[in-house]
Amino acid sequence: MNYKARLILAIAVGLSIYFTFLASSQIDLATEAVNILYSCENSEIQSCISLPEYSRLTSRWDGNVKIYLLLSLLLSLVCGYFSHKFKKQ
């Protein structure tokens, strides 16, 4: 395997790992934010629920996670494709 192939493979592996960690940190942050909003809801403070961030956090936080996980999966497939391709040469 030449240096260019190793570089491409290393970049793909690094980005795959990066997007996986990004997705897991997004899940942790969003879960904490949703828990805070639910505790605010349980304390019956209506000003908390009427904030625009409330609906955004409770409905859209998983959109980024899906994108990050999809990118991670695609990069993993790229890694597998290139590593198999370079082994044949």
Q: Give the per-residue pLDDT at 34.
A: 75
For residue 9, how many other CB atoms are within 10 A of its CB?
18
Spatial separation of the C-alpha atoms in residues 45 and 51, rounded to whole Å: 11
Bigger pLDDT: 54 vs 78: 78
pLDDT bracket for residue 59 (50, 70, 90): low
Q: Give the per-residue pLDDT at 46.
A: 61
pLDDT in tens, 36-55: 777 776 666 666 666 666 66
Q: Give the per-residue pLDDT at 6.
A: 76
Residue 81 pLDDT > 70: yes
